[in-house]
Amino acid sequence: MKKFLLLLKKELRELLTPQMIVPFVLIMVVFVVIGKTAGKQVASQASAQDEVLVLDHDTGQLSKIALGSAGQIAKITMAKTTNDAQFVSEMNKRQIALGVIIPADFSMSALNKSNATVKTYSTFKDFSLSASKKSSTLSSVVMMINDAVSNGLIQLNSPETNPIKLKNPVLAANFVSANGKTVEGSSAAVLGYISQQTNFVPVILFIVIVFAAQMIATAVATEKENKTLETLLSLPVSRKTIVSAKMIAAGLVSLLMAGIYMHGMKNFIGGIGSAATGSTTTGGNVSGIVYSLGLSLSATGYLELGVILFLGILLALAMAMILGAFSEDAKSAQSVITPLMVMVMIPYFATLLLDINQLSPLLRGILYAIPFSHIFLAAPNIIPGNTTFVLWGMLYLFVMFLIFVYVAAKIFSSDLILTMKLNFSKKKS
């Protein structure tokens, strides 16, 4: 036990070097800073109304009513020019991206049962998310104008009718059901909220597993390169102690990273997410619905996710340790773990880009056979309560871990650890 602790301490010291910590801290800082500033940006953009420049030629009163109603969703600014030809240049000069020209016969044609036509203008400076939001503002403005005009026409023709009731005689009350519970709410809002909350999970899983694998493969390869491994293996210390100290140290560091990443990414996504949902739907309300449906990750959900991630890290460590034993120096350790990287990448992208349930049974079987798939499939299955699937995944990962750790121990307790190597280029004669 004393020797194990000594080795564990040494492994941790070897892993927690400035070369490892600095890039890690940098990535964290970048994430948090981007998250915070992007969050503020999104929030200010969401709350600020887009400005619309309006040139009103209408001789009647209808345009005033219509613009008043459009003013609820956009900031209406009246143009200085009265000349259509100069309208766009005024938009550019005043840096207003959206514009509407209301014709002189606007009220007249509306009352005459023919269609009135307004001209809308959008100027493009970039094609970012905010540009597309601006273009939707313009169609909303036209919708509000239509709404106001049609309300006016209905009241003009039959003053005792409620125009809102006439236009929407049927109302829908929306319910969402999950986990055997049903709550009033919109499915689109709930789905959006959940994907926001869970999007960051696979990214972290991916980063942490790849990082853990790289870490231990490099550690093994470096010891081989420096011949410190030969010394270590000749000591009166059991090989089990040596292997487990290496694994546990790398496991602890990976878990630490996972925790910090989770926290950082939550801030990052949370910063953008809450600001964005806050303006359109009432964010608090949606999260309340999600919570009462049991669709958010509960404490046990997080625990299950943590356990499966831990098992995944252990398996990755055992595999990477074996792969690291094939390398002769730290440089080749990176290329030696490529097969492991591919095994993590396939389920990562598959779960990100594909609908697993639509896959053919063969492809799905292959995906399920890759142990790391079960990590990426955990969160989407924990949330709707498919606990059995998650538990089978855990069991599978654990069995695979036992197999690979057994192989790793065998390699370390034989001389394979010193003699194994991949000779692609130079063949011994």
Partner 1 sequence: MKNILEVKNLCKSYGKFDAVKRINFSVAQGEIFALIGPNGAGKSTTLKMVASILQPTDGSIIIDGVDVVREPEAARHKISYLPEEAGAYKNLTGRGYLQFMAGLYAETKADEKKYLERAIEICGLGRRLKDKLGAYSKGMTRKVMLARALMKEPKLAILDEATSGLDVINALEIRDIIKSCAKSGMTVLVSSHNMLEIEYLSDRVAIIDQGKIIETGSIAELKKRHQAENLEVVFLKLRKT
Interface with ligand ADP (CB under 6 A): 419, 428
Is residue 420 close enough to count as binding partner 1 by CB under 8 A?
no
- For residue 327, the Cα-to-chain-centroid distance in whole angstroms is 35
225 binds partner 1 (CB under 8 A): yes
Let me know: does 416 contact 322? Beta carbons within 8 Å.
no
Q: Report the residue number, 182 or 231, with the smaller CB distance to ligand ADP.
A: 231
Task: Characterize the bridge pairing of strands 181-184 and 98-102.
Answer: unpaired
Does position 17 interact with partner 1 (CB under 8 A)? The reply is: yes
Among ligand ADP, partner 1, none, what does residue 156 contact (CB within 5–8 Å per kind)? none
230 binds partner 1 per the rule CB under 8 A:
yes
Closest to 145 measured CA to CA, from 73, 53, 90: 73
What the block records as the tokens of 277 is 């949902």
Contact indicator for 272, 39 with CB cutoff of 8 Å? yes
Q: Could you say which residues in the range 359-418 bind partner 1, by CB under 8 A?
A: 414-415, 418
Question: Which of the ranges 73-81, 224-232, 305-313, 340-348 carries the binding residues for partner 1, by CB under 8 A?
Answer: 224-232
- 37-51 in b/e burial notation, b at 16+ Cβ within 10 A? eebeebbeebeeebb
Q: Which two tokens stand for residue 234?
A: 């000749």
| Closer residue to partner 1, CB minimum distance, 3 or 364 | 3
CB of residue 420 to ligand ADP, shortest distance in Å: 8
Contact 121, 87 (CB under 8 A): yes
Q: Exactly one of 10, 36, 75, 266 binds partner 1 (CB under 8 A); which one?
A: 10
**Site size with partner 1, rule: CB under 8 A:** 25
Q: Are residues 374 and 364 in contact, defined by beta-carbon separation less than 8 angstroms?
A: no
**Binding-site partner at residue 6 among ligand ADP, partner 1, none, CB < 5 to 8 Å by type:** partner 1
Residue 19 C-beta: closest distance to partner 1, Å: 10
Pick one of 46, 111, 237, 248: the residue that binds partner 1 (CB under 8 A): 237
426 in contact with partner 1 (CB under 8 A) = no
- Least distance from ligand ADP to the Cβ atom of residue 237, Å: 23
Q: Which does 157 bind (CB under 5 to 8 A by kind): ligand ADP, partner 1, none?
A: none
Phi-psi region of 237 (alpha: psi -120 to 50; beta: other; left: phi over 0): beta
Q: Is 226 in the site for partner 1 (CB under 8 A)?
A: yes
234 binds partner 1 (CB under 8 A): yes
Check if the beta carbon of residue 206 is closer than 8 Å to that of residue 258: no
Among 227, 263, 331, 410, binds partner 1 (CB under 8 A): 227
Binder of partner 1 out of 59, 114, 117, 238 (CB under 8 A): 238
> Quick one: CA dihedral 212, 213, 214, 215, positive or negative?
positive
Q: Write the CB contacts of 163 (distance below 8 Å, at least 6 apart in sequence).
A: 150, 151, 154, 155
Edge to edge, what strands does the sheet with 51-56 contain? 75-78, 51-56, 98-102, 119-122
Which residue's CB is nearer to ligand ADP, number 224 or number 246?
Answer: 224
Residues that bind partner 1 (CB under 8 A): 2-3, 6-7, 10, 13-14, 17, 225-228, 230-231, 233-238, 414-415, 418-419, 428
